[in-house]
Amino acid sequence: MKVISGFLKGRIINGYKTEGTRPTMDSVKESLFAMIQSDIKDSICLDLFAGSGSLGIEAISNGAKFVYFVDHNKKILNILKKNIVNFKIETFSKVILADYKKALLKFNTSNIKFNLVFLDPPYQVHVIEDILKFLNEKDMIAPTGQVICEFNNEALQDSYGSLNVIKKRQYGDKTIYIYKNRLY
């Protein structure tokens, strides 16, 4: 798996074949980032089920100001940390070993608002709807911020409070919904 665009374009992301990960395919990632390209620069991002960090690293490569990488798999996070050091992007990121619920509670307590949130949990874990509700209820998405969801066999609504779906795409068995904060 490679970084597909930006200043890290072509760099190899290690860890995508690690057990317990299901990375976003390069073709899907390329399409996804084309849809959000104009919103990445200077953004604060959350890669909540980070795995190898493919989505968050791509965001940094395209101008994100800072990315929080969260995953509960210590082995994959150690690989992610090595990728971050190899790419020399330590000042743009923080890697957090935590369950997604604990991480969200901590971010909420710290009053962190995100411009972009990447939700790509394991497909058998159906938590996206609960996360969208939490992000909306706790007002954790910045004005015009977006939540990018990648899933399979999960039924999601077109809106969760101020978060409204603005794009839907199907890539084989993968579905991508992009929600935008329309409160402001």
Instruction: Give the per-residue pLDDT at 172.
Output: 87
Domain ranges of the chain: 26-181
Q: Is the pLDDT at 143 greater than 50, yes or no?
A: yes
Q: Which pTM does this prediction carry?
A: 0.93
Give tens-digit pLDDT for 79-134: 999 999 999 999 999 999 999 999 999 999 999 999 999 999 987 889 999 999 99
Q: List the structure tokens of 38.
A: 């104009």
Q: Is the pLDDT at 20 greater than 50, yes or no?
A: no
Residue 92: what are its φ and ψ, rounded to 5°? -100, 5
Measured distance CA(43)–CA(47) in Å, rounded = 12
Give tens-digit pLDDT for 47-72: 999 999 999 999 999 999 999 999 99
Which numeric CATH code is attached to 26-181?
3.40.50.150
Q: Give the residues across from 176 on adjacent strands.
A: 150, 169
Residue 79 identity: I
Residue 173: what are its φ and ψ, rounded to 5°? -90, 0
Q: Is the pLDDT at 28 greater than 80, yes or no?
A: yes
Contact 183, 162 (CB under 8 A): yes
